[in-house]
């Protein structure tokens, strides 16, 4: 094991322990507006989650929660924005896991480090990706799809929203686990890959529910499975791939993190508030429309979720043959 890997492995239990310690203090009072920094442009998945939680958390703490979008630099811009903010427990980062699981594996150098620069606060939501096929593919179930592809090695194409995306890595992990062979056709986002599926340029892909729901309703695609560890409450009729591949879980996770040296009370208070609002009917309805399952967890559980996701995606990156650039 390389020295860097040894250091990360040694730091993991300590990081999780620190995250768990923060749950013991929840009397912190927010005395000014809270800021949620999002490392993407408005409209994306983390931005949607941040805005929905911000509204409900703001109502509970009696302060506004402002969203500040800081895209760029593979997460570096947002990390710097958090680092340069007053470390008084009023600024948090809301992001998906790729900033910590995928980016460190495909970029040679990043100016931020998960365990050095951040403290976990709460796993806010999960967003499954769904396996969809063109209607001309003569299958109607996940099992039929696997059998169909196995009988036609290297004859079908799958689309993704880009090399190194969750859509790409999910399919590579599924291919390896089931011993199937499908050619990868990367696109620039789901805005290109889903139309390619509809048009028959690719036979299948993984994508978020909002990108597929309308087409599925009009019988332009068939949804066969999800990449979450269990069936989603939003689509309980759709099986999880984990039902044929035990332990398979590549749902996108979105969570809140604080500066590594943020006040423990602030971390505990925001975590508690996130857990309190994650059952709000309007929050659930809004996120459900976007294909997102609300979670809300304590810092220790979020730390474990990040570590688990990192381990799974590291294997998927290796399977995809991706090298740092």
Q: What is the pLDDT of residues 190-243, one digit of tens each?
A: 889 999 999 999 999 999 999 999 999 999 999 999 999 999 988 999 999 999
What is the token pair recorded at 155?
């004859």
Phi-psi region of 2 (alpha: psi -120 to 50; beta: other; left: phi over 0): beta
What's the DSSP call for residue 136?
A: T
Determine the Cα–Cα distance for residues 80 and 84; give it in Å rounded to an integer: 6
Of 151, 117, 126, whose CA–CA distance to 137 is shortest? 151
Provide DSSP, 156-196.
Answer: -EEEESSTTSHHHHHHHHHHHHHT---EEEE-SSHHHHHHH
Listed in order, strand segments (DSSP E) in the chain are 34-38, 65-69, 91-96, 118-127, 129-133, 157-160, 183-186, 204-208, 222-226, 252-259, 293-294
The tens digit of pLDDT for each residue in 75-134 reads 999 999 999 999 999 999 999 988 998 999 888 888 899 999 999 999 999 999 999 999
**How many residues are recorded in the chain?**
325
Q: What pLDDT does residue 74 have?
A: 82
Determine the Cα–Cα distance for residues 8 and 22; give it in Å rounded to an integer: 21
The tens digit of pLDDT for each residue in 21-79 reads 444 456 899 999 999 999 998 988 899 999 999 999 999 999 999 999 999 988 999 99
CB-CB neighbours of 251 under 10 Å: 22
Q: For the chain, give percent helix, strand, coil, nearest 5.
A: 45, 20, 35
CB-CB neighbours of 118 under 10 Å: 24
The tens digit of pLDDT for each residue in 255-286 reads 999 999 999 999 999 999 999 999 899 999 99
Q: What pLDDT does residue 15 have?
A: 53
Determine the Cα–Cα distance for residues 232 and 239; give it in Å rounded to an integer: 9
What's the DSSP call for residue 239?
A: P
> Which residue shows structure tokens 């499908």?
182
| Pair 258, 121: CB distance under 8 Å | yes
- Residue % of the chain over a pLDDT of 70: 92
The tens digit of pLDDT for each residue in 4-31 reads 343 344 344 445 444 444 444 568 999 9
Q: What pLDDT does residue 26 have?
A: 62
C-alpha dist (Å) from residue 154 to 162, 183, 272: 20, 6, 49
CA angle 40, 55, 19 (to 5 degrees): 70
Determine the Cα–Cα distance for residues 33 and 206; give it in Å rounded to an integer: 38
Determine the Cα–Cα distance for residues 294 and 18; give it in Å rounded to an integer: 24
Show the domains of the chain with their CATH numbers: 3-127+252-320 (3.40.190.150), 129-243 (3.40.190.10)
């Amino acid at each position: 094991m390389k020295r860097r890997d040894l250091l990360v492995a040694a730091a993991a239990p300590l990081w999780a322990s620190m995250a768990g310690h923060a749950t013991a203090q929840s009397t912190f009072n927010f005395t000014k507006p809270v800021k949620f920094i999002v490392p993407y442009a408005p409209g994306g998945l983390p931005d949607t989650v941040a805005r929905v939680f911000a509204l409900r958390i703001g109502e509970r703490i009696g302060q506004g929660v402002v969203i500040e979008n800081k895209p760029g630099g593979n997460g570096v811009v947002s990390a710097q924005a958090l680092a340069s903010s007053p470390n008084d427990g009023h600024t948090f980062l809301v992001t998906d896991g790729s900033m910590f699981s995928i980016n460190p594996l495909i970029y040679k150098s990043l100016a931020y480090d998960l365990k050095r620069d951040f403290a976990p606060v709460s796993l806010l939501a999960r967003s499954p990706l769904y396996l969809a096929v063109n209607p001309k593919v003569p299958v109607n179930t996940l099992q039929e799809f696997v059998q169909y592809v196995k009988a036609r090695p290297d004859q079908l194409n799958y689309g993704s929203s880009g090399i190194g995306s969750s859509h790409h890595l999910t399919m590579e992990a599924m291919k390896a686990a089931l011993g199937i062979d499908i050619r990868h056709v990367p696109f620039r986002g789901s805005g290109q890959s889903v139309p390619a599926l509809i048009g028959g340029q690719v036979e299948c892909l993984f994508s978020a529910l909002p990108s597929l729901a309308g087409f599925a309703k009009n019988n332009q695609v068939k949804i066969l499975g999800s990449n979450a560890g269990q069936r989603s409450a939003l689509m309980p009729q759709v099986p999880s791939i984990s039902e044929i591949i035990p332990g398979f879980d590549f749902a996108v996770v979105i969570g809140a993190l604080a500066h590594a040296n943020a006040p423990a009370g602030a971390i505990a208070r925001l975590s508690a508030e996130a857990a309190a609002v994650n059952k709000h009917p309007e929050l659930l309805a809004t996120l459900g429309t976007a294909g997102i399952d609300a979670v809300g967890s304590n810092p220790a559980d979020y730390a474990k979720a990040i570590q688990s996701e990192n381990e799974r995606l590291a294997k998927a990156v290796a399977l995809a043959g991706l090298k740092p650039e």
